[in-house]
Chain A
Amino acid sequence: MTDRIVGALILALSIWYGITAGSYEASFGDPLGPAAFPIMLSIPAAVLSLALILRPDAEPKWPSFWPMMRQAAAIALLLAYAGFLEVVGFPLATFLAVTLLGRLLQTTWPKAAISGAVMSAVLFITFDYLLDLPLPLLPEFMS
């Protein structure tokens, strides 16, 4: 079933991809133009996704409930980290992210917090001072 759903999604994507390509106009001196190659890609991609729908493999083993919750929490955490990195500054964001990830990986609060503190300090010093990559130090409202 998963194969069929993914196949259907890719089929829809290929059709949209091919149709969108059709709207790109060719210019002079370039016989092929910007549209031809995407259209050439969309057709075999659509055919292959049909093959996925018609001849799916055995159902893959999806993670069970709790592992999937952990993954969802991790994804939410990573997105939040990406969003808040510049808002709250690198050290604080990294401390929180590493601590919470450590918790998701089933270690204790103290261990997770220590690894968070050490990692954010070490990475900040390495990248900001040694490698000369400016990182946001303080939260936005303080700097």
Chain B
Amino acid sequence: MGFLDALLQGFAVALTPTNLLLALFGCFAGTIIGALPGLGPVNGVAILIPLAFSLGLEPTSALIMLSCIYYGCMYGGRISSIMLNIPGDEPAIMTTLDGYPMAQAGKASEALGISAVASFAGATFATLGLTLFAPLLAKAAIHFGPADYFALYVLAFATIGGITSVNPFKTLLAAFLGLMVASVGLDPATGTPRYTFGSYHLYDGFDPIVAIVGLFAISEVLVYLERLNFSDARMVPLGRALPRLKDLLSGGWANLRGSVIGFVCGILPGAGASLGAFMSYIFEQRWSARDGKFGKGDPRGIAAPEAGNNAASGGALIPMLTLGVPGSGTTAVMLALLISLNIQPGPLLFDRQPDLVWGLIAALYIANIVLLVMNIPMIGLFTRMLAMPQWILMPFVVMVSFLGVYSISHSTFDLFVMVAFGVIGYILRLIGISLVPIILGLLLGADMENNLRRALSISNGDFTFLFQSPIAMGLYALTATMLTIALVLSFRRSGKAENA
């Protein structure tokens, strides 16, 4: 059993004082970031990446801290869903459906407890899955050649919007925009400057982290400024300080069902936690809602989506670590971090840097236990954070974004670029173009082009080489299937909208 030794080795890495401290900090900060409305996991991880740089952390430590923030956000997102009926982040939307009614019925602390247990179940299930499946996938992925990688990227871009996106054309367009932005700078193979307008600032291209902070954090501030007049949410009282054990476990088997569904959704490229929560809730509703209690505060309606979104976020780490293709927005941001630290995720990561991979996995087990403890007895502390006024929070987010970006390059040019990306991000969000495919394009563009060029230099310019390997063909077949499903669903949806 090689992986047990590896896991033990991982715990040795994760339990060093620095890493343990960073994990605790990550869990705490993550829960707060997830809980505050408007600061989701993508924003939270994006604005803290520069912090990881400025602390001069080892790649392993940086990754442990950010992954714990990521897990923490998934726990924290539910808090404002339940207390305010405002999801703290996108994956927590489904939790409002049963969580808020239960809280209104005076059982806020029970709802928070059930969802904490569900989050623990989902995240632990996913971490187990990560332990077992990631090494297997990494072993399989070693056989991927350049043509197969190119096919894999095509699959990732074609499916990033998943089957949930409203308009698949817009999602695809977003991916192409990201790829186009990625080609700015010196061409790595020949040194030709492309789209630089002669400015040396652009020779290195756009730093993905600057773009991410702009697209997500700055555009969020603009979104908030628009909605200013509508925010009069009332917090429900917490009720009992500590929920009873019987109540905590009342989610029952919904915890497990949600975990399985969420985990599968998380592994699929581009689907991520929102889909995990959505599918888990819908399935649970079909499975167990015969008594019509769903939507009125059914514990299973809280447990299923929370288990689902936590399991999905763990699952999304698998393609990110083993293939270098992230399964969600936040894992895309983490990929940006790894690339900036000169670590190329992919199948070789497991061989070359076992400490990083297994240290991370062990840290996630620890994080789950820490988060469960933080989120049941200490929940009162986090609900109090929700009362933080936006006129403090929003300027703080802006300033940390500016400082973070400035600390990477000490160039005011990057600050302007960040603001510009913020404005563009706001407009794209307004018309329903998803930002995640843009980030993915920006991150993977260079690699996609390199693999294409490598494949074609192997074949001396013969394009049919791209379709010769069985792996590539399988990936293209999968791409075609997923695209067809997405298009059919979108046409059916727009047909329904017209009939209604």
Contacts and interface: CB of A to CB of B under 8 A. Distances in A.
B176 A44 contact: yes
Interface stretch (B70-78, B86-94, B378-386, B387-395): B387-395
B225 A98 contact: no
A101 interface: yes
Interface string A102-125: 101111000110011001000100
Nearest to B450: A37
A97 B397 CA distance: 12
Interface stretch (B102-110, B281-289, B369-377, B452-460): B452-460
Contact of B412 (A31, A52, A83): A83
B172 A48 contact: yes
A106 B228 contact: yes
Interface string B401-438: 01100110000100110110011001100111100000
B167 A24 contact: no
B453 A30 contact: yes
B169 A48 contact: yes
A131 interface: yes
A127 B169 contact: no
Interface residues of A, number: 67
Question: In terms of DSSP, what is the predominant structure of the interface of chain B?
Answer: helix
A110 B218 CA distance: 25
Interface in A1-36: 2-3, 6, 10, 13-14, 17, 20-21, 24-27, 29-34
A133 interface: yes
A67 B228 contact: yes
A127 B407 contact: yes
Given A98-B395, A112-B391, A45 B403 contact: no
A98 B391 CA distance: 9
A30 B455 CA distance: 11
A70 B229 CA distance: 12
B176 A24 contact: no
A60 B192 contact: no
B129 to A, nearest CB: 35
Nearest to A42: B180
A10 B433 CA distance: 12
Interface string A82-96: 110110000000100
A45 B190 CA distance: 25
Nearest to B415: A82
Interface string B445-466: 0000100110011001100000
Contacts of B222: 71, 74-75
Given A20-B195, A63-B226, A105-B394, 16 more contacts: A10-B173, A24-B187, A32-B456, A37-B452, A41-B176, A45-B173, A52-B169, A70-B226, A82-B415, A98-B399, A101-B391, A105-B391, A111-B391, A119-B396, A127-B407, A135-B406
23 contacts: A14-B180, A27-B190, A30-B190, A32-B453, A32-B461, A37-B452, A41-B176, A45-B180, A48-B169, A48-B173, A57-B432, A60-B432, A70-B228, A75-B422, A78-B218, A82-B402, A82-B419, A85-B415, A97-B399, A101-B391, A102-B392, A133-B54, A133-B403
